[in-house]
Amino acid sequence: MNLDLSQFFSEYEALVAQVDAVFKKVSGNFVSEVRCKEGCSDCCHALFDLTLIEAMYLNSKFSGLAEIRRNEVLIEADKADRKAQLLKRKVSKDAAEVDQAEILMRTAKERLRCPLLDLGDKCALYDYRPITCRIYGIPLEIGGKSHTCGLSGFEPGRPYPAVKLERIQDMLLLLSNRVLDAVGSKYDDFRLMHVPVSTALMTVYSDGYFGCSDSLDQDSTVAAVDESGGQNA
């Protein structure tokens, strides 16, 4: 695409640095409770979505991987994306019958392997992982309630300082909307759009994708796997 994203990415990286600093402080104050360590991939099976700025940033870093590795990841991304869509349809259907808090609890229990995980359960883009991945192991406040990783040592019912995840999300949305303003997107629904990691990896963020060119892309998502299971040329 024609837009230079370097300034937006720099601002996003600054926010990431702040989040990392918070995680470091909390893990330092609660050494026995925060149990994140190399080899633990529990958060890599959580169902969550990315804002536009996160998705585009991750996509840009993904493009720097070797082609053979990208193709391997895209195959897994296609599988994960199909499963994510099925889970979202189920959640949407249940939303008419149960309250938002129950929906959040059910979603948190769903398991979806991240396509960036290799066979050794290591992330192919660890240094560039999304913010949710960076703070999963410490208490988070979501919808006014505290949530903690099930593998952590934080005791249910006890008060702990919690990161207000919605505030971070608000900042990410503001940055995402500035990108949309700068690119001149015609699509208002993009302003609240969130996508899973799998979709972020498979999407081509071109001018056409944003509705900014005369010849719009008819299919901006990479078809990683065809019906027979082979890779597209």
pTM of the model: 0.85
Q: Is residue 168 part of a domain?
A: yes
Q: Is residue 209 part of a domain?
A: no
Q: What percent of the chain has pLDDT over 90?
A: 64
The pLDDT tens digits of the residues spanning 144-156 come to: 888 888 889 999 8
| DSSP-derived secondary structure letter, 196 | -
Q: Is residue 224 part of a domain?
A: no
Q: Is residue 190 part of a domain?
A: yes
* 163 touches 140 (CB < 8 A): yes
Q: Is residue 40 part of a domain?
A: yes
pLDDT at 97: 67
Which residue is listed with tokens 């695409």?
1
Domain that holds residue 120: 6-202
Q: Is residue 169 part of a domain?
A: yes
* 202 touches 77 (CB < 8 A): yes
Rounded to whole angstroms, the Cα distance separating 135 from 133 reads 6
The pLDDT tens digits of the residues spanning 183-228 come to: 999 899 999 999 999 999 999 999 999 998 654 444 455 444 444 4
Domain count within the chain: 1
Q: What percent of the chain has pLDDT over 70?
A: 83
Q: Is residue 81 part of a domain?
A: yes
**Residue 109's closest CA among 140, 65, 147?**
147
Mean pLDDT of 125-136: 96
Q: Which strand (E) or helix (H) includes residue 163?
A: strand 163-164
Mean pLDDT of 119-131: 95
Average pLDDT of the chain to the nearest whole number: 87
Q: Is residue 42 part of a domain?
A: yes
Rounded to whole angstroms, the Cα distance separating 56 from 180 reads 12
